[in-house]
Amino acid sequence: MQRGHLLLWLLFAQAHAELPMCKESDYHFEYTECDLLGSRWRVAVPNKANTCTGLPDPVKGTQCTFSCSEGEFLDMQSQQCQKCAVGTYSLGTGVAFDEWDSLPSGFVTHGVTTYSGEAHTDCSNSTWTPVGDYVTSNTDECTATLAYAVSLKKPGTVSFEYFYPDSSIYFEFFIQNDQCQSTDSKSRWMKTTESNFKEYRVELNSGNNVLYWKTTAFTLQGSAVKPVLLRNIAISGVAFTSECFHCKPGTHSANTGSARCTPCPAESYSNKGAAICHQCEQDTYAEAGSGSCKPRPACTNSDYFYTHTPCDSEGKTQLMYKWIEPKICSENVVGAVNLPASGEKHTCPPCNPGFFVTNSSTCEPCDKGFYSNGTACTKCPVGTEPVVGFEYKWWNTMPSNMKSTFFRRESGDSEHSTAWEVAGEYVYTIPRDQDSDYLMLTLDVPGYRLPQSMVEDSERSELSRITFVFETTCAADCKFYFLAGYNRWNNDVVEQWKGSNSKQSYSYLIQSNSTASFTWSFQRTEEPAERKYSADAVKIFSIHITNVIGGVASQCRRCALSSAKAGSACVPCPLGHYMVNGTGVCKSCPPNTFIRADQPVGEAACVKCGPNTQRNKAHTACLSDCALDVQTRGGVLLHYDFSPLSNVTDFHSSPRFTSKGLRYDHRFNLGLCGKEGRVPATCVGNVTESGKEVKGYACQSTVVPSDIRSQSMVSTQPFVIGDTLIGVTTNTTLSSISSPKWLFPSAPVLPDVIFYYKSSETTQACKQGRSATVRLRCNPSVTEKHHITLPSNCSEGTCDGCTFHFLWQSQHACPLCTKNNYREIVSACIQGLQKATYVWQQPLQCYGGESLPAQKVSACVTLDFWLKFGVSTGTIAAVLLICISCYFWKKTRKLQYKYSKLMMSSGGTECELPTADSCAIMEGEDAEDDLMDLTRKSFFTKIRSFSRERTSDGFDSVPLKSSSLYHQREEEDSDDA
């Protein structure tokens, strides 16, 4: 065993004896890990194993907290700080990343699904991409992460520059320490920028730090998204840097000990690690910071633009042509064009309304209380007030509150050179050397104030209005944007147009003083191209914005005066009054009308409230108190109370998915009705820190499930559907807004009650503004308050993108119950008690209102008693009837007997009565017997007599009137003889 170990040692020693001695180029020095006392050792590490022998022995190294200053590096041989040579730079205790041709060592990027639901989304290609001078984020709905891990020996900082122009992207930066604790969620939310890179700096603690940059796009309607750009990432706090970094191409450092490199100026270039910049040759050019020069092309008509010179002292202006700066073309090349000569001088156009011409032919604003048409200022007459604002329709010079800039994504800088030029009757975009540049024109205003003659009210949505007239001419896929916001670095796209558009007007309603900046941005194409589409341009002919603080007046209008004295101030007309045209006299509007915000003059200013609405106290809008009376076709009056549904309600559409499988839906907020002081429906966009908030009766936003900022949902793209209540009725059409029955087919017993809303905000697609209808359908079985559905054939709530329809089924949508809605049921009388119970009529079509009466109990007589009483009474009546019948029957027999006896005793003489045997009435006979008819017999009597003739019961059968008839026949025979 010992012989084996000895043999191995001899072989190892022999192998090393054959290796050459190490040179300085064969190894490098490194420090060991710091111990508990903060000390370390310097050791030599071969660049390649088993290539040399005789490495230097380890020596005690510098303290772990040792570091060099900016522009220096630590020479590991001498363990002393040395200055960087020319053409290089050093941060001293940090590292910098300013070249992004590829992802630098140590950086990791990956894409993941934003929402870890059931959707299977492929986000493997959604990462951060290095593009030369910067690294760019993803622009889809995946979450892209860029990470870098660094270990600091002492507290330091991280700084970087970022460009974040699009509020549709969520962008956050945070740090995780050794315990995997992240930065506070509020501080990680990055602020948007518009036209410049912005520097961001964060303190770092000693130890391990992992830096994260994360982006997620939330634009789901097909519009292009501008990515986030990162550059110049620098980290300080590392113990040392053992080498200096070479300056990248296009930069240089002329002095030793440089902490950073300086970009080369235009018309010069430099290679990597350059100490100086070299001038380009005569027929070549280079932009600032270029690593090489390019040959100059021949000048063409796309290399110059035209403009109008400012008015001179004689009031003349001249058409002039200028080369696009920087000039990159050459006039000496074959086929090149020369700059056209300047045109003849012409009389300057008038100043814009509200300005006047000075002696030096410049335009100055009129003083307060004056107005002008662009020539001279005139004081407003007594009883009038100036209509203040800005109206630009003549473009001889760029207005002082407007600024022209351009932005180039490749450089990330917003240059202050010209992007828009004045041309007399319009302002237009001039050609640039890159067709992908964003050409921006910005208008800033200090704020807004309503005129003295107008009443401020919470229901009044219009604070100001901006209107502009434009046209676009494009051969490529150009885009024209209109943005509005707090400032030029914090705004949102209001509207956009693609391709060529004929001359048209666009108006935007301003509802808040926070909207004080407006930007018009034009991009010829998204694809990088050099002056291929220079002829594509946009022209703005006029811009008019009203009620601006510090604005000028183009006219004066009549107003109501505070008193009849001369010089009295303008005051608003009393509530509910309008001003008669040209008189300043206020006249009362008809009942239940409100005053139009944009036209308080003339009888047309009075607008009648819609059905079942009432004007507010300020006479500026119509409201619904949630109570309603409806007369049915059958003449029944139904009373509704929608107060339980008046609180703001949110609901959403069915889920939808993007091409990558990201789930999203449309979230609606609805405030059905309410009196003054009600809480409006509010929709917000919380992707960026600034956010956007809109309010009204109904609004919509797009909601995406996400875990950013520890939230389960992210809301974006909010807009108002309806901010004005038009009316409440059962009709399916009101004020050109229709709610067809086929949208929500059914056969309800009661008619649906429909709320109609309209928005004053117009868009390119909805030139008349958006509108909404809410159908309230009675359904007593629905107990939940938020049972709102969308049309089955229009799953997003709208079929045309402008009119939205909702169906709200609830028991609270039923009319109030009355006595006609229930009936009484009376029970049988049991033990002397009878109960009356009340039940609802079915099917039940009411809710609330009058409740069912309580059960009533009353005394009663039972059925057994009445049955016994009836039987007894019937029995007595039957016995009495039988007795009466027997009595009269006996009476009749006596009369028959007497009559027969009387006839028999008549002796056969006609018309003679027998002699009475007695004058007195015999016992048992009635006096009425003397009144009998002796000549006529009743039919009943004849029958009786006939029956007696044929009986053999011992009685004599005497035929009545037989003797008289015999004598009568004898007399007749004698007469015949």
CA distance 750 to 816: 13
Q: What is the pLDDT of residue 411?
A: 59
Percent residues over pLDDT 70 in the chain: 82
Q: What is the pLDDT of residue 710?
A: 55
Q: Is the pLDDT of residue 708 over 60?
A: no
Average pLDDT over residues 124-131: 88
Asked whether 718 and 667 are in contact (CB, 8 A), the reply is no
Residue with the two structure tokens 């970087």 = 160
Q: What is the pLDDT of residue 265?
A: 92
Q: What is the pLDDT of residue 912?
A: 54
Q: Is the pLDDT of residue 172 over 80?
A: yes
Average pLDDT over residues 652-667: 80
Listed residue (126, 197, 202, 136) closest to 161, CA to CA: 197
Residues 6+ apart with CB under 8 A from 341: 321
Average pLDDT over residues 192-216: 84
Q: Which of the four pLDDT bands, split at 50, 70 and 90, describes residue 413?
A: low
Side-by-side strand order, sheet with 143-152: 107-112, 143-152, 207-217, 169-176
Q: Which of the four pLDDT bands, split at 50, 70 and 90, describes residue 132?
A: confident
SS3 89: strand
Q: What is the pLDDT of residue 772?
A: 95
Q: What is the pLDDT of residue 187?
A: 66
Which residue did the predictor score with more confidence, 448 or 748? 448
Looking at the DSSP bridge assignments, the partners of residue 615 are 622
Q: What is the pLDDT of residue 921?
A: 46
Q: Which of the four pLDDT bands, split at 50, 70 and 90, describes residue 935?
A: very low
Q: Is the pLDDT of residue 561 over 60?
A: yes
Quick one: three-class SS letters along 300-353?
CHHHEEEEECCCCCCCEEEEEEEECCCCCCECCCCCCCCCCCCCCEEECCCCCC
Average pLDDT over residues 879-883: 89
Helices of type H across 845-961: 863-904, 939-949
Average pLDDT over residues 442-460: 75
Q: What is the pLDDT of residue 629?
A: 92
SS3 654: coil
Q: What is the pLDDT of residue 747?
A: 67
Q: What is the pLDDT of residue 727?
A: 95
Question: Which range is least confidently modeled, 85-94, 109-118, 226-235, 416-425?
Answer: 109-118
- Indicate the pairing of strand 262-263 with strand 251-252: antiparallel
Which residue did the predictor score with more confidence, 7 or 428? 428
Q: Which of the four pLDDT bands, split at 50, 70 and 90, describes residue 180?
A: low
Q: What is the pLDDT of residue 417?
A: 65
Percent residues over pLDDT 90 in the chain: 26
Asked whether 610 and 756 are in contact (CB, 8 A), the reply is yes
Using CA atoms in the order 409, 411, 415, 419, what is the torsion angle rounded to 10 degrees? -40
Q: What is the pLDDT of residue 441?
A: 93
Q: Average model confidence (pLDDT) for the chain?
A: 81
Of 180-189, 321-330, 670-679, 727-736, the range with the highest mean pLDDT is: 727-736
* pLDDT tens, residue by residue, 943-952: 455 444 444 4
Q: Which of the four pLDDT bands, split at 50, 70 and 90, describes residue 349?
A: confident
Q: Is the pLDDT of residue 25 over 90?
A: no
* pLDDT tens, residue by residue, 525-558: 888 777 788 889 999 999 999 999 999 999 888 7
Average pLDDT over residues 653-657: 83
Q: Is the pLDDT of residue 970 over 50?
A: no
Q: Which of the four pLDDT bands, split at 50, 70 and 90, describes residue 576?
A: confident
Q: What is the pLDDT of residue 197?
A: 83
Q: What is the pLDDT of residue 946?
A: 44
Asked whether 720 and 728 are in contact (CB, 8 A), the reply is no
Of 271-285, 697-711, 736-750, the range with the highest mean pLDDT is: 271-285
Q: What is the pLDDT of residue 961?
A: 44
Q: What is the pLDDT of residue 224?
A: 66
Listed residue (688, 819, 905, 835) closest to 219, CA to CA: 688
Q: What is the pLDDT of residue 967?
A: 45
Listing DSSP states for 835-866 in one string gives EEEEEE-SS----SBSPPPPPEEEE---HHHH
* pLDDT tens, residue by residue, 31-40: 888 777 778 8
Q: Is the pLDDT of residue 110 over 50?
A: yes
Q: What is the pLDDT of residue 942?
A: 47
Residue with the two structure tokens 């666009």 = 506
Q: What is the pLDDT of residue 906?
A: 65
Q: What is the pLDDT of residue 773?
A: 96
Query: Quick check: pTM over 0.85?
Result: no
Q: Is the pLDDT of residue 915 over 60?
A: no
* pLDDT tens, residue by residue, 834-856: 888 999 888 888 998 888 888 88
Which residue did the predictor score with more confidence, 141 or 695? 695
Q: Which of the four pLDDT bands, split at 50, 70 and 90, describes residue 17?
A: low
Q: Is the pLDDT of residue 726 over 90?
A: yes
Q: Which of the four pLDDT bands, split at 50, 70 and 90, describes residue 2?
A: very low
Question: Which range is least confidently modeled, 176-190, 319-333, 688-702?
Answer: 176-190
Which residue did the predictor score with more confidence, 402 or 832? 402
Q: Is the pLDDT of residue 953 over 60?
A: no
Q: Is the pLDDT of residue 520 over 80?
A: yes
String of b and e for 222-257 (b: at least 16 CB within 10 Å)? eeebbbbbbbbbbbbbbbbbeebbbbbbbbbbeebb
